[in-house]
Homo-oligomer: A and B are copies of this chain.
Amino acid sequence: MDREICIFQEFLTDDHKARIRAAAEAAGFVPHFFTPDQMEEAKACVQHCEVLYAHSPELLRSAPATLKWYCCSFAGVDPYCKDESIFAAPDCLLTNSAGAYGVTISEHLIMVILMLMRRMPEYADVVARRGWSNQLPVRSIQGSHFTVLGTGDIGSTFARKVKLLGAASVTGVNRSGRTPGDVFDRVLPISRLDEALPDAHVLVMALPGTPETIGILSRERIALLPADAFVVNVGRGSAIDQPALVEALDTGRIAGAALDVMTPEPLPADDPLWTARNLVLTPHVAGNMSLGYTCDRTVDMFCEDLARYAAGEPLAHLVDRKRGY
């Protein structure tokens, strides 16, 4: 009987499909391709597939216990780790695409940080009323101190880029306190997070959504930030005490914030976040799949892991389902 792969993605080019077909053939698999408008066909197909490459909790939930490996094309896999029952087989492998998002998300970070430093929320108001004023004090990446919560692909790629742009220092904070590579000036364990807040000009949050990260930027920790601090979150909205952040913005307790993730998403029309002071709000676009580089990388990562899977080797992008990343 054929070993089969169900592929359910919206972004694949003909070139991507050709690469997946070649990798599947080399690994002894038959691939079946579906787009998001073919959910029912995909659900029928996944009944006899060993591997699923998608980013759909609904499709995964419909797969039987014969599914051995689910490769998610997103970096954040919290929807698959919160609830064991989403996998029919308790030992089904889960991989993610962390590593594909560093470039696009770090460019988003640089953009929103410069927008805050260069007063774009205020200048957007000036331009909207066709006014002309240009004397607001601005700041610079050059010479600023950054604290980066989460030192994975996104945090590390960002740290490397702002160092190249002249940042005075970049402090990483992660679970272990170990340094990934040499891009950070220092790395602290999460237990010492409070030490990395009082001198942060910019706090960047790039954490996975796990039970440990919920509410990690609490009201008490916001109070440790300096008055000129910017808070930027591209991880999960659940990591921030959102009402406390809105209060800190509106009272001028901190200088500004940029949120690409929030709670809940989509944000309700009456949420106070929409009108918070000096906030750059984006509707979860930082890791958008549309950047060619991102799509290429997730396809490459899947194909590479498929070769390892067929050879019985450990998968490079395996997620610890208990830990959540």
Chain A interface (Cβ within 8 Å of chain B)?
103-104, 107-108, 110-111, 114-115, 117-120, 123-124, 126-127, 130-143, 161, 164-166, 265-267, 269, 274, 281-285, 288, 290-291, 293
A88 to B231, CA, bound (A): 53
Known: A124-B124, A164-B164. 9 other contacts (CB 8 A): A104-B138, A107-B165, A111-B114, A118-B285, A123-B282, A130-B267, A134-B284, A136-B285, A136-B290
Establish whether residues B108 and A110, one from each chain, have CB atoms under 8 Å apart when the complex forms: no
Establish whether residues A132 and B283, one from each chain, have CB atoms under 8 Å apart when the complex forms: yes
| A124 to chain B: closest residue by CB | B124
Establish whether residues A269 and B130, one from each chain, have CB atoms under 8 Å apart when the complex forms: yes
A10 to B300, CA, bound (A): 56
Establish whether residues B161 and A107, one from each chain, have CB atoms under 8 Å apart when the complex forms: no
Of all A-B residue pairs in the complex, the 9 with the closest CB atoms, nearest first, are: A132-B266, A111-B114, A137-B290, A164-B164, A134-B285, A134-B283, A130-B269, A132-B283, A138-B291
Establish whether residues A140 and B104, one from each chain, have CB atoms under 8 Å apart when the complex forms: yes
Among B104, B130, B141, B288, contact of A107 (Cβ-Cβ < 8 Å): B141
State how many angstroms separate the Cβ of A154 from the closest Cβ of chain B: 15
Instruction: Provide a sorted-by-A list of 13 A–B residue pairs whose CB atoms are within 8 angstroms.
Output: A107-B117, A107-B165, A108-B118, A111-B115, A119-B285, A127-B274, A130-B269, A132-B283, A134-B288, A135-B288, A136-B290, A140-B291, A161-B164
Chain B residues closer than 8 Å to A117, beta-carbon distance = 107
Chain B residues closer than 8 Å to A265, beta-carbon distance = 132
Chain B residues closer than 8 Å to A291, beta-carbon distance = 137-140
Among B119, B127, B285, contact of A123 (Cβ-Cβ < 8 Å): B285
